[in-house]
Amino acid sequence: MRHYTGIDKLINSFDQALRSLVPGTTAAQRENPAVPEETQLAVSEARHVAGLMRVNHSGEVCAQALYHGQALTAKLPNVRLEMEKAALEEQDHLAWCEDRLKELDSHTSLLNPIWYSLSFGMGALAGIAGDKYSLGFVAETERQVSLHLQHHISQLPAQDNRSRKILEQMNEDELHHRDTAINAGGVDLPMPVRMTMTAISKLMTKTSYFI
């Protein structure tokens, strides 16, 4: 196994950040689950859907940063590999959300660099705290993301099957990542940590919808 120096890891982290933040640089490994037919949306509906998809895209940026930060500081090689694998799977979500935003003639959030930085730092701290807490952090993150996705699915216009299929597949993946983290030994996080995560999530949701 190749030994990476501190400079190597720094360059890799910078490359991962750019791929997560610059639209069009992330390619999905899986086919977009959106159904092929397109349904006409009213202007107000399209604007609302774009806001929801922008929030979900920002959530995936946060997930990327979380996994990248944890992989950087994880102590056990198998945990580090799990984090890297999960980050790759989450790249599909980034690409799918970007595709839908383009179809809606909209854009990703301008605040994504802020969310990435915060999430990367939190992920790195979780990794330093220990692998069981790092995995617990993943489980709690994915639980909260799943709740957001289910809420957004319920807000979609009835005829918007393209967005619905994307969010449903994303939710299925997030629940799988949550279960994987728990089965690997993740522990419940202290209540203050969970409350902080919820507060940051609400702030991201409210701002990324518009910006």
Give binding residues for Fe cation as ranges.
Answer: 60, 90, 93, 142, 174, 177
For residues 35 and 165, the answer to whether their CB atoms sit within 8 Å is yes
- Cα 39 to chain centroid, rounded: 27
Question: Do residues 145 and 61 touch, judged by C-beta distance below 8 A?
Answer: no
Q: Smallest Cα–Cα separation from 204: which of 60, 22, 86, 13?
A: 60
Query: What is the enclosing helix (H) or strand (E) of 5?
Result: none
Task: Give the closest residue to 165 by CA, choosing from 32, 53, 30.
Answer: 32
List residues forming the annotated binding site.
Answer: 60, 90, 93, 142, 174, 177
What CA–CA distance (Å, rounded) separates 150 from 119? 22
Residue with tokens 């709690």: 140
